[in-house]
Structure 1
Amino acid sequence: MASPSSVLLLLFTLLTIFSTPSSAKPYPSASASPEARPWAKPWPHPNPLAAAAAPSQSNTFQYDVIIYGGTPAAISAAVQVKRMGKTVAIVNPDEHLGGLTSSGLGWTDSKNGNAIGGIAREFYSAVYKHYLSDSAWIQMPRQEYVDMKVSAQPGPAVDGDKEIQWTFEPKVAESIFKSWINDNNIPVYNEHLDRSSGSVSKSGTTIKGFKTLSGKTFNGNMFIDAGYEGDLMDAAGISFSVGRDSASVYGESAGGQRVAVNDGYEGVDPYKTKGNSKSGLLLGIQDTLSSPLPQGFTGSADDLRIQSFNYRLCLTHDPGNKIVVTKPAGYHDSNYELLLRLIEAGHNASFTADPMPNRKTDSNSEGKVSFDLVGGNFNEATHETYPTASYDERKAMIDAHKKYQQGILWTLQNHPRIPAEQRKKNAEWGYAKDEFTSNNNWPYSIYVRESRRMNGMHVLTQQDVQNRAGYIGDAVAGLGSYNLDSHVVRRVVMGDQIYDEGWFYIREGSTPFPIPYQAILPQADEATNLLNPVTLSATHVGFSAVRMEPTFMVLGQSAGTAAVLAIQQGCTVQDVDRKKLNSRLKSDKQKVSY
């Protein structure tokens, strides 16, 4: 007769096999050839046992914790839930995992690397270990990069003493994330949330589950919205803000609409026909304002417009890995007239080329006119804003960004109105042949710098960021370590002069600031089993210092921890024992004080 322990083992094995979703199959390895995935096709399941599971007609899946989004916050949350012994699934609306971290943003946005702990630090440690291998260096030897002594934002790009590396190629980031998914046997479904009314089922303030566009239902005990847009939060009936709060609401000196009147585009005519205001504004300029500013404009609220987006390009000058930039289809000179006039007026226009390993870059917008498509996330005709736009409307905005950015890169490299010396310098760079190979070497994801912001239990403000001494009254979910930083929201014309509206960059030094746990919690009368580590509760100004990939990864781990503790304690996320939360975060090497 079999022993009780062997019977239990057999039962456990059978349950594991037959409870696995029917769409399951092995997760593709980093070396596997890329496969184009339809809009709502299930992401391959990492569990090798599941490939042999009996077919099931069920489209309903149950886990302890359901995470929506494919960002670094989603991944760190899922890993933490698994480490704490609960079941978890990621429902990812994107074709790839890792958000911007695996889509070009290799120049880590942090002003103090010591503020990054836990799973986030494990990521940067994994980056360091990856680049210790000679096989990781295809276009250059490791020592050449080390000798460059690249000074990244959190510290030395390659820090041998701390065994940390802050700069990395996109494909390396994605490979690390994939290995985490595989090692922890975390199921990932490539599905878009059904955002129509009633798609999220609730009993009172408890979320029971949500539906996706393909008809699947995901039920759970706890939910984490880890997407850049906050779609699950919205569909679950949780209140949020979009745009910019009035400066007077929270007493923020950088709040609301504001024009940098000492920061104009001197010598640049704003009109399609120079000198003729009736001919219309050039592309990239959104509004004409009274001069001087209309009373009440500075600091006034704007619940529609948000800071500009772009793609973080991975470029290279290595001849063997470089794809020459070509003129995109539908290119029109008039779309870049503002750029051309700016250069002809003596202003600089280019893009960043922060050095990544293997002679690549993380290239961001730089200067007055560059990769940011200012105003591109807002439809002036319909007043539709990206955060609340439909999937189709978002796609149209994203496509416009791609075409614009491809065009401006070609213009900077080839247009005869660009000085020859500048053209030659810009033309050194091309797309990296070995990056984003399933997407014609273009980044998978656009940089959504800001979208919805939850109206949660604590609204993180400018004062919270600037008061870096500490936070009293709640557990700390993690530390932020960036400046107050908003890209331009729109360009305006006053008195025939062009100005940036909505831009600010306030240096705060390298001392981290605490982010209270309540900032990732909704109000208890709206939802009691959802956590929100990405589109968290903050003002536009406060969010501008939080909206960084390592910070999201930190908050994702804390959200995963709290979700499991709430299950274990049989309570709401609002009532999680703060001492136990703080103790667990510390034991997992999360940074909660500095």
Structure 2
Amino acid sequence: MIQLPIRALLFVCLLNLWSCAGEQAATTSTAENETDFQADIIVYGGTSAAVTAAVQAVRMGKSVIMVSPDKHLGGLSSGGLGFTDTGKKEVIGGLAREFYHRIYLHYQKDSSWQWQKKEEYGNKGQGTPAIDGTERTMWIFEPHAAEQVFEDFVRENNLKVFRNEWLNRESGVKKENGKIVSMQTLNGKTFRGKMFIDATYEGDLMAAAGVSYHVGREANSVYGEEWNGIQVGVLHHGHHFKTNVSPYKVPGNPSSGLLPRISGEDPGKKGEGDNKLQAYCFRMCLTNHPENRIPFSKPEDYDSTQYELLVRVFDAGWRELFNKFDPVPNRKTDTNNHGPFSTDNIGMNYDYPEASYERRKEIIKEHETYQKGLMYFIATDRRIPADVQKEFNTWGLPKDEFTDNGNWPHQIYVREARRMVSDYVMTEHETLGKKPVQQSVGMGSYTLDSHNIQRYVKPDGFVQNEGDIGVHIEEPYQIGYGALIPKKAECQNLLVPVCVSSSHIAFGSIRMEPVFMILGQSATTAAVLAIDKGIAVQDVAYEELKAQLEKDKQVLSKPAKAM
């Protein structure tokens, strides 16, 4: 064996490093100069559903490209929603369960507990223990831990991901003979595939492809439902005004005008439909660890008058501010809306689904300003009860989350946008077990859940919220394959695992992150079978689809006993 002097050995190593760097640079440069790409399956989106859809394609031996408008992958699962809406965990299988297993493995490492000892964390989850040692799953987690799992999926499967690529919604989708041939992004890149999957929260590819969809609430009469349309007078959760609060600038004086964020419009009649959406917010990750906490700061365009209604809520005796500071590891939270005036920005998102990208950015920025301003208001305004304010100021944004976005979540919670209208529509009847579901491709189990949609003035002159619904589901329900596929006359090679064909209130249960992961995997499975047979997605033989899904550990019917 030839012995080289240390200096010579170092020089050889440096040459190798320069050589590798040059090769990498050449590869990157070539990719950047390309504008036309092709794969068996094109997945549009950066959500949790998009990742599972792409991983499933690789595992089934197909080429796949993820075209993501987002820089960060995972959507809400890595964007602050760490207190998982599990529902019944026994119906979460496949890649979704693998995700939560990987979260479990992450928190088995001592190095993952930087700000808190593992034994100090507790084990609180939503309907299930946070850490399930028997099943080796963990359902509660920090945002950066979730994002790392999604990036591990990308790395291990050598997924080709194009980030910050936005669909040209005006002319970017090309169709021939009822099929999408290609989609083009605003950067001029063209992606060609045999099958396409729209895994966005907004349903942009679906809409651009000419597929039917609905925005807002259907009237109850459309599908014979009870909980879908306008729900004036229905107050299911604690997110309403429990005592009489005046909506006017001068209490009791209508001529003084309404306070900000209260609509002067008639809310409509119970059971009617409208084009309004349940409120959006950011699922903030907060911490009370002094060494990791950034105090709430005053945002640009801060306007304290926007929060006058909250002062009146406190004055009426409300003290539930901290009820949804749900704990995640390392002395952090997934902080969600709670109460009559909170982080939900009611009534400010109605035009979001159909809006241009520029308008959507404005809406998102307005939500960010509102929510950051709300935090600053509670932290500093002298009218906030002293004891509440003192405790609140022990909280702040964590230094080690969302580090490239000012420690603020990179994903707004798009609870609902477009929903496909196909030949098969999931309604409250299927979710409540009143109608059987054919051709199951996954299961849901969460409450029929809608956040508030309007804040209005009642006939008696006091303010109230409307649209907050929570109807308990007795048993897990199946989700039919027909809800993932468009009408055959509209598109034969597109699957939609997020903006599924469902009514507003059925989507209120389906719209949970574990379900989106499940449906992303199932959508790709169907796409692969359609490719192999050379057929439309509407013609996939369900028995073959079912066999593959069960092979891949998807749960398609209620287990005989808890897992």
Which one of 265, 281, 304 corresponds to residue 258 of structure 2?
281
Relative distance call for 1:491 and 1:221 in structure 2 (3 A) is same
Conservation of the 8 A alpha-carbon contact between 2:448 and 2:472: yes
Equivalent residue for 2:204, pick from 231, 244, 247 = 231
Q: Which residue of 2 aligns with 1:484?
A: 448
Task: Give the structure 2 partner of residue 39 of structure 1.
Answer: none
The Cα offsets for residues 70-100 of structure 1, whole Å up to 9 and x where unpaired, read as: 0000000000000000000111111210000
The number of residue pairs the alignment matches comes to 532
Alpha-carbon distance, 1:61 to partner: 0.6
* Residues 402 and 409 in structure 2, CA contact (< 8 A), matched pair in contact too: yes
Write out per-residue CA displacement over residues 520-560 of structure 1, whole angstroms, 9 at most, x where no aligned residue.
11000000000000001000011000011000000000001
Greater mean deviation of Cα atoms: 47-56 or 326-335: 47-56
- For residues 251-276 of structure 1, what are the alpha-carbon distances to aligned partners after superposition, in whole Å with 9 as ceiling and x for unaligned? 11112112126654523110123222
Give the structure 1 partner of residue 462 of structure 2: 497
Please state whether the residue corresponding to 2:338 is helix, strand or coil: strand
Conserved? CA contact 1:154–1:166, under 8 Å = no
Gaps of 5+ in 1: 1-24, 27-46, 379-384
Question: What residue number does 2:433 align with?
Answer: 467
Q: Which deviations, in whole Å up to 9, do the C-alpha atoms of 1:266-306 show, x marking residues without a partner?
A: 231101232222332212212343xxx87xx111110x210
Counterpart-to-counterpart distance in 2, 1:48 and 1:143: 44
Residue matched to 1:271: 248
Residue 160 in 1 paired to residue 133 in 2?
A: yes
1:362 to 1:224, Cα distance in 2 relative to 1, 3 A: same
Aligned pair partner of 2:305 in 304, 311, 334? 334
After superposition, the C-alpha distances for 1:322-371 in whole angstroms (9 at most, x for unaligned) are 11112222222211011111111222352511110111100001111111
- Is residue 332 of structure 2 the alignment partner of residue 367 of structure 1? no
Partner amino acid, structure 1, of 2:116: M
Which of the numbers 250, 258, 262 marks the counterpart of 2:231?
258
Partner of 2:362: helix, strand, or coil? helix
* 2:191 is the counterpart of 1:222: no
User: Do residues 507 (structure 1) and 485 (structure 2) align?
Assistant: no
Contact 1:349 1:369 in 2 (8 A): no
> Which among 409, 430, 436 is matched to residue 443 of structure 1?
409
Match of 1:300 among 272, 279, 284: 272
SS at match of 1:444: coil
Measure, in 1, the Cα distance between the counterparts of 2:467 and 2:145. 35
Question: Counterpart in 2 of 1:396?
Answer: 362
Distance (Å, rounded) in 2 between the aligned partners of 1:549 and 1:526 = 27
What SS does the aligned partner of 2:280 have? coil
* Counterpart residue identity of residue 174, structure 2: S
State the match for 2:399 in structure 1: 433
Distance in 1 between residues matched to 2:284 and 2:35, nearest whole Å = 38
Aligned to 2:525: 561
Give 2:67's aligned residue.
91
RMSD: 1.9
- Confirm or deny that 1:551 pairs with 2:523: no
- Quote the residue 2:44 is aligned against: 68
Structure 2 counterpart of 1:144, one-letter code: E
**Structure 1 residue corresponding to 2:123, chosen from 146, 149, 155:** 149
1:77 to 53, 58, 68: 53
Q: What does the per-residue CA deviation read over 1:15-41, in whole Å, with 9 as the maximum and x for residues that have no partner?
A: xxxxxxxxxx99xxxxxxxxxxxxxxx
Letter in 1 for 2:255: K
CA contact (8 A) 2:220 2:226 kept: yes
Q: CA separation in 2, counterparts of 1:569 and 1:463?
A: 34
1:183 aligns with 2:160: no
User: Structure 2, unaligned stretches of length 5 or more?
Assistant: 1-19, 559-563
Match of 1:311 among 252, 266, 282: 282
Contact kept, 8 Å, 2:94 with 2:518, in 1: the verdict is yes
CA contact (8 A) 1:315 1:361 kept: yes
For 2:549, the aligned partner's letter is L
Structure 1 position 201 matched with structure 2 position 174? yes
Q: Does residue 542 in structure 1 map to residue 514 in structure 2?
A: no
Tell me if structure 2 keeps the 8 A contact 1:78–1:186. yes
1:196 to partner: Cα distance = 4.1
Q: Distance in 2 between matches of 1:56 and 1:162?
A: 43
User: Which residue in the other structure is 1:323 paired with?
Assistant: 294
Output the amino acid matched with 1:119: L
CA 1:300–1:573 in 2, change beyond 3 Å: closer, same or farther? same
SS of residue paired to 1:366: coil
Distance (Å, rounded) in 1 between the aligned partners of 2:265 and 2:204: 33
Compute the TM-score of the two structures, normalised by the length of structure 2.
0.91
Conserved in 2, the CA contact under 8 Å of 1:314 and 1:431?
yes
Cα deviation, residue 470, structure 1:
4.6
Shift of 1:589: 0.3
Distance in 2 (alpha carbons) for counterparts of 1:196 and 1:171: 31
Contact 1:244 1:255 in 2 (8 A): yes
User: Is this contact kept in 1: 2:282–2:343, CA < 8 A?
Assistant: yes
Amino acid at match of 2:462: Q
- The 1-side partners of 2:102 and 2:214 are apart by 36
Match of 1:355 in 2: 327
Code of the aligned partner of 1:316: T
Structure 1 SS opposite 2:376: helix
Distance 1:261 1:71, change over 3 A: closer
Judge conservation of contact 1:191–1:214 (CA < 8 Å) in 2: no
SS state at 2:390 partner: helix
SS in 2 for 1:386: coil
Instruction: Report the Cα distance in structure 1 between the residues aligned to 2:79 and 2:31, rounded to whole angstroms.
Output: 35
Q: Quote the offset at 1:154 in angstroms.
A: 4.4
